[in-house]
């Protein structure tokens, strides 16, 4: 792992930036559909309310995790693991919704795959980094 001049791990810095940007985009896009009756809601099509609310609320957790990781706080590692696990669980419930012939958009499948992959990666990376730090 590369260490910057400030002594921070470059990987943690990148993971933090990804988490914060992802969080801001998630809050903006989810909030536009949830709270503004306009073009964003119309373009959302057959959105699944529980998935939309989950993602919107988790956007704030993404921000917290990103800032915490940047500050090298152990709780941010645990928050990242929680985000990854809960996203996978909501993705599972979304799959059940699809199997029960519930309305959905294909982009939701793509978005949940991306969210699950990104947060699983951040969680594993954070865990490995903090475990190495603990030794």
pLDDT tens-place string over residues 62-98: 999 999 999 999 999 999 999 999 999 999 999 999 9
Q: Which of 88, 81, 73 is nearest to 123 (CA)?
A: 81
Mean pLDDT of the 103-126 span: 97
Residue 4 lies in a domain: no
For residue 9, what pLDDT is reported?
Answer: 77
Q: Which helix or strand (DSSP H or E) is residue 133 part of? A: helix 106-134
Confidence of residue 3 (pLDDT cuts 50, 70, 90): very low
pTM of the model: 0.90
What is the domain range of residue 101? 10-134
Asked whether residue 31 carries a pLDDT value surpassing 90, the answer given is yes
8-state DSSP, 45: -
Distances in Å between the Cα of 127 and the Cα atoms of 53, 110, 122, 134 are 27, 26, 8, 10
For residue 5, what pLDDT is reported?
Answer: 47
Residue 5 lies in a domain: no
Average pLDDT over the chain, rounded to an integer: 92
Asked whether residue 101 carries a pLDDT value surpassing 70, the answer given is yes
When divided into structural domains, the chain yields a total of 1
Mean pLDDT of the 20-26 span: 97
Residue 40 lies in a domain: yes
Residue 81 lies in a domain: yes
């Amino acid at each position: 792992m590369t260490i910057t001049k400030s002594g921070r791990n470059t990987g943690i810095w990148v993971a933090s930036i990804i988490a914060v940007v992802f969080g801001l985009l998630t809050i903006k896009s989810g909030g536009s559909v949830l709270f503004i009756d306009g073009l964003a809601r119309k373009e959302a099509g057959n959105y699944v309310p529980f998935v939309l609310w989950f993602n919107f609320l988790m956007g704030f957790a993404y921000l917290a995790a990103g800032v915490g990781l940047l500050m090298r706080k152990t709780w941010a590692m645990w928050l990242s693991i929680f985000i990854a696990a809960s996203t996978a669980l909501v993705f599972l419930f979304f799959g059940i919704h699809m199997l029960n012939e519930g309305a959905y958009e294909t982009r939701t499948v793509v978005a949940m795959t991306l969210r699950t992959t990104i947060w699983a990666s951040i969680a594993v990376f954070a865990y490995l980094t903090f475990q190495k730090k603990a030794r």
